[in-house]
Amino acid sequence: MQMFVRPVNCHDCGNGFYALGHVIEYAQQQGQEIIDIAGGNANKAPVYAAIDSNNPTHFYGFGHGGNTRFTGDSEQDIFTVNECDKLAGKEVYLLSCLTANALGSAIIQNGATAYAGYRISWTWVSDSGSDGDPYQDLYAKGFYESANELWVALIDGKTFEEAVQAAIDKYNEWIDYWFDENPEAPQSQDAIMWLIHDRNGLVALYPGMVMETAVNWPMIIIGASIAIGLAYYVLKPAPILKRA
């Protein structure tokens, strides 16, 4: 069973809400059992309750995020590095900003069987705002269709690794489209620029792997201490020597 979480009332979440709707529709067409936690229900308590009662094997979440958190409709945390054990035993894909930098590793450490997400601010261009269906927008469609491809590939029965590659391939298709078929469109260069950015920011993690760019606080603290010590050593006033 697959569980989708798609908020709509958070800032600029309309596009993602409708984009995930396409994946849900596709899953239903394929006869797959899904749970759609949408709109105002896409918050911590209803999400946790749905996980407890349905025990889905796959968790697909769209929403705002940061290095250590993934948020819902109210922009309050659903998962954090300190609270993500509900995802144990599941394949997880978060279409969100920056979660691959720390939350992804925490999700794996808490028992998820696979995680995919982004180590960058997932960025898109739209000609029609962020409220409607991005598949109706010349620019936004490529971004959401590429991100959705990972889910679509999993619905088609591909492995997680193959699904990640399918998403990368879809990003590449759209990059080629803007380069080769529609280069004169006013925002074609920025569409390419951000598609490359998002594609390169997609990260997959599995048990036993550690995210290379994860925030490593102990090393940051050690590094900062060394830097401060060196600065003090270099900048401290020279001792005044006096003759007795």
User: Quick one: which of 8, 20, 50, 98 contacts other proteins (CB under 8 A)?
Assistant: 98
**In whole angstroms, how close is the CB of 215 to other proteins at the nearest point?**
12
16 binds other proteins (CB under 8 A): yes
Q: Does 148 bind other proteins (CB under 8 A)?
A: no
First to last CA, the chain: 85
59 touching other proteins, by CB under 8 A: no
Does residue number 142 form part of the binding site for other proteins (CB under 8 A)? no
Task: Confirm if 219 and 118 have CB atoms less than 8 A apart.
Answer: no
Sign of torsion over alpha carbons 192, 198, 199, 201: positive
- Residue whose CB is less far from other proteins, 200 or 225: 200
Q: Cβ 155 to other proteins, closest distance in Å?
A: 22
Are 2 and 33 in contact by the 8 Å Cβ rule? The answer is yes
Does 122 bind other proteins (CB under 8 A)? Our answer is yes
- The C-alpha atoms of residue 4 and residue 135 are separated, in whole angstroms, by 18
Which of 26-34, 50-58, 91-99, 155-163 is the region at the interface with other proteins (rule: CB under 8 A)?
A: 91-99
Q: Which of 134, 94, 137, 133 is nearest to 116 (CA)?
A: 94
Helix, strand or coil, per DSSP, at residue 169: helix
Q: Given candidates 1, 45, 49, 196, which one binds other proteins under the rule CB under 8 A?
A: 196
Q: Which amino acid is present at 169?
A: D
Whole-angstrom Cα distance, residue 98 to residue 121? 6
Taking CB under 8 A as the binding criterion, the range among 26-34, 190-198, 218-226, 227-235 that sits at the site for other proteins is 190-198
Amino acid letter for position 10? C
Tokens encoding 89: 């035993």
Instruction: Provide the minimum distance between the beta carbon of 130 and other proteins in the complex, in angstroms, as a whole number.
Output: 5
CA geometry: angle 202, 207, 213, nearest 5 deg? 45
**Footprint of other proteins on residues 158-187 (CB under 8 A)?**
175, 179, 186-187
Question: How near is the Cβ of 122 to other proteins at its closest, in Å?
Answer: 5
- In sequence order, which residues have a C-beta less than 8 Å from that of residue 129 and are 6 or more positions away? 14
197 is an interface residue for other proteins by CB under 8 A: yes
Q: Report in angstroms how near the CB of residue 32 gets to other proteins at its nearest.
A: 26
Positions touching other proteins (CB under 8 A) are 10-12, 15-16, 63-66, 75, 95-98, 120-126, 130, 139, 175, 179, 186-187, 189-194, 196-197, 200
